[in-house]
Structure 1
Amino acid sequence: MKIQGNCSDQFSAVREAFADSLRSGADVGASVAIYLDGEPVVDLWGGYTDQERTQPWQRNTITNVWSTTKTMTALCVLVLADRDELDLTAPVTKYWPEFGTAGKNHIEIRHLLGHTAGLPDWDQPMNLDDLCDWEKATTLLARQSPRWEPGAASGYHRFTHGFLIGEVIRRICQQPIGTFFADHIAAPLDADFHIGLAVKHDHRVSDAIPAHGPAPAANPRVAIPVGTYVTAQDTWSAQWRRAEIPAAAGFGNARSVAAVQAVLASGGQTPSARLLSEATCRMVFDEQSHGMDLVLGIPVRFGMGYALKAGDAPVGMPNLHTCYWGGRGGSLVVNDLDARMTIAYVMNQMTHLGLTDPRSHKLLQTAYEALAL
């Protein structure tokens, strides 16, 4: 399998691991990127954009990265916090007064970031049309009660996370989160990542390929089931691409994910300017919860907008100041502030394994082995 792109000699084993994944058929089309000290040392892509394997994955191919988008949403919050336009410990009602009903007046911004707000789902069933209706999605959340004491535990806010945080950003900046991200993060970094995809980019999109076989049986440790609402096929639609769904509908590739997130791993410094202070970058590690997630049914340690290194974490990392998250189907981004390294993996072939996907784990393991050389 021919792999394209660039890879430093130090990380040649990552190239081999990536090639093996494509050669074996575990991946159809994919990309992997590593930034070290803010500079790209791995930028590889290969395979095909379609399940029939007729169209090659190109340098500028992008795809839906699902919940890896949440790391971009979190970065928007950190940028505003760094500018003193948003206080992570302030009540949400400071920015969104209508939110303070039904026992939610004490919910803080940090609870939204750490999935501890008690609003992991809507109280009524939602569909694709509803998810694409910003006013409806946010108004319903503002009216309902939390399902547990905010701050007491995490319960993964699968879709609500982006609407809750996105509405706070909209109230502060008077612009949608997709526009804020594009203007204040993607543009300065020249990063090809989009929350709300313009029609001019449609020809570059590789549609998500549904996972093989039936979904696994329900996890018995899930205390609060939430709706999934969207299939892989739904994300093929123009409706999904145009909508701003900042918890799940981001489009990019490994290069663009790593380019954006490397800002965090490099202490806030970009190639041309400082986007965040080092102190703000370290805010990510303010632990919000650590235990069995009520929605995921797995142990997770959440900080500010990211999961953190922990002995019981689904993703293994050697260094203390490491944060990460991934997307449905297998995409993953890891920021290691101790090693000043970011690694991102983005693909089109989905699996049912999520954060335990062996494809991303192999690349991550290989990257750390190369780093130790």
Structure 2
Amino acid sequence: MTDIQRLTQDAIDQLVESDVERGLQVAVYHRGELVIDAVAGQADPAIGRPVTPDTPFHVTSTGKGVTSTVVHVLVEQGAVTYDTPIAELWPEFGAHGKERATVRHVLNHSVGVPGLPQDTTPADLTDWDTMCAAIADATPWWEPGTRTGYHPQSFGYIAGEIVRRATGRPISQVLREEVTGPLGVADELFFGVPASELGRLARLEEAAGGMELTPDMITAMAGQVPFFRVVNGWTAAPPAALPSAAFCNREDVLAADIPAGGVMTARAVARMYAALMDEVGGVRLISSERLREVTTVTISGIDEVTGAPAARGLGYDIGFPGPLDSLTLFGMAGSGGTAAYADTATGTVIAVAKNRVSAGDYSTFHHIGALVTKALGPR
């Protein structure tokens, strides 16, 4: 075992032993090579099943980085461009002033359709055609391209339908054929999880002291918290469809293509990011020129949905407040505390998957990230 692997293993063992985490995975690539693949704790405490390196976790919005990668691979192949109007591929989407919205606007969350109907249920989210029809007929909250605002669920359907219209294949199939298959991780990274694989997944749980938001609480916050506001019956946060542990453990949700999130191992998503920056196992997903394009800030400012400062490239957040923060850092984090980020300056990818849902708390990722970057040495 290398020193950096041992150091990381000791750190995550301590997180589990101190009951900060239940089960987790850490994977790190450096210059195209896997240098850390560490696991600790339990995937399913009800039956004592341990976490293994190939245990997939529902990582909520960390999966958005995977969705974006699929789009970039298609752009690399010439199937679509960033400036292709969405309505050129998907005519229905052009309704109500969205006719000039482009693929670029989707990727940097400026397309202006961050919400879903307020009464959306988890079962609704599993119905691809129904969700796409509703989103296509939506009136944008702002003129596409003029502002940025995080699209929690709609991002996955818009990007996924662009993929389907451009290729004739659902995004889960394109992911497998163009990304995970070539990288050798098709059994560790999914949108819709095959029924035969559901028994392998980690079971998520709420962190101790965590508070599940009720519809009444969300209604009360709608006037003060931008994320919960309602616009003509639409909201970025439908109360019944928030990504709680219970939501992420539902078999219908896990089995459906909902590519605003994803189910994956830390080492699989880390391998994907590594293959965006370098050749990995003979595979490089996009050119170095395209890498520079997608990791350059395309829009920034106060996010219209979260109310927080945001800087976005194409499909990835740029920078991540904490010890790793840098304009050369790109990736996505999930609402439950998971994250996967890559640094183009160092060629390093750090991915953390875990099953204790710590909403908005990325202390585990920051702790591991700081430890790893110190161990790897100067930039």
TM-score, normalised to structure 1, is 0.91
User: Could you tell me whether the CA contact under 8 Å between 2:330 and 2:343 is conserved in 1?
Assistant: yes
Task: Say if 1:187 and 1:291 are closer, same or farther in 2 by CA, change over 3 A.
Answer: same
> 2:190 corresponds to which residue?
194
> 1:214 corresponds to which residue?
211
User: Could you tell me whether the CA contact under 8 Å between 1:110 and 1:288 is conserved in 2?
Assistant: no
Indicate the RMSD between aligned Cα atoms, in angstroms: 2.0
Partner of 1:297: helix, strand, or coil? coil
> 1:3 corresponds to which residue?
none
User: Could you tell me whether the CA contact under 8 Å between 1:215 and 1:352 is conserved in 2?
Assistant: no
Q: Structure 2: state its 5+ residue gaps.
A: 230-235
> 2:3 corresponds to which residue?
9
Partner of 2:197: helix, strand, or coil? helix
| 1:32 to 2:26 alignment | yes
Q: Distance in 2 between matches of 1:17 and 1:316?
A: 17
The total of aligned residue pairs comes to 359
> 1:284 corresponds to which residue?
294
Q: Structure 1: state its 5+ residue gaps.
A: 1-6
> 1:237 corresponds to which residue?
250
Q: Distance in 1 between matches of 2:100 and 2:86?
A: 8
Q: Distance in 1 between matches of 2:181 and 2:313?
A: 27
Task: Say if 1:42 and 1:245 are closer, same or farther in 2 by CA, change over 3 A.
Answer: same
Q: Distance in 1 between matches of 2:250 and 2:212?
A: 22
Q: Deviation of residue 50 (structure 1)?
A: 2.4
Q: Distance in 1 between matches of 2:143 and 2:277?
A: 33
Residue pairs, 1:266-345, within 5 angstroms: 266=278, 269-309=279-319, 313-317=320-324, 319-345=326-352
Task: Say if 1:366 and 1:346 are closer, same or farther in 2 by CA, change over 3 A.
Answer: same
User: Could you tell me whether the CA contact under 8 Å between 2:276 and 2:284 is conserved in 1?
Assistant: no
Q: Deviation of residue 54 (structure 1)?
A: 2.3
Which of 121, 146, 149 is the equivalent residue of 1:127?
121
User: Could you tell me whether the CA contact under 8 Å between 1:209 and 1:232 is conserved in 2?
Assistant: yes
| 1:173 to 2:177 alignment | no
User: Could you tell me whether the CA contact under 8 Å between 1:151 and 1:288 is conserved in 2?
Assistant: no
Q: Distance in 2 between matches of 1:291 and 1:350?
A: 28
User: Could you tell me whether the CA contact under 8 Å between 2:299 and 2:313 is conserved in 1?
Assistant: yes
Q: Distance in 2 between matches of 1:317 and 1:146?
A: 34
Partner of 1:146: helix, strand, or coil? coil
Q: Distance in 1 between matches of 2:303 and 2:256?
A: 28
Q: Distance in 1 between matches of 2:47 and 2:165?
A: 45
Query: Once the two structures are aligned, what percentage of the paired residues are identical?
Result: 28
> 1:107 corresponds to which residue?
101
Q: Structure 1: which 4+ aligned runs deviate by more than 6 Å?
A: none
Q: Distance in 2 between matches of 1:346 and 1:36?
A: 18
Which of 252, 263, 275 is the equivalent residue of 1:263?
275
Aligned residue type for 2:284: R
Task: Say if 1:223 and 1:158 are closer, same or farther in 2 by CA, change over 3 A.
Answer: closer
Q: Deviation of residue 316 (structure 1)?
A: 4.2
TM-score, normalised to structure 2, is 0.89
User: Could you tell me whether the CA contact under 8 Å between 1:70 and 1:246 is conserved in 2?
Assistant: yes
Q: Distance in 2 between matches of 1:295 and 1:320?
A: 22
Q: Deviation of residue 55 (structure 1)?
A: 2.2
Q: Distance in 2 between matches of 1:27 and 1:291?
A: 34
User: Could you tell me whether the CA contact under 8 Å between 1:221 and 1:298 is conserved in 2?
Assistant: no
Q: Distance in 1 between matches of 2:19 and 2:117?
A: 40
Task: Say if 1:258 and 1:223 are closer, same or farther in 2 by CA, change over 3 A.
Answer: closer
- Larger mean CA deviation between 338-347 and 234-243 belongs to 234-243
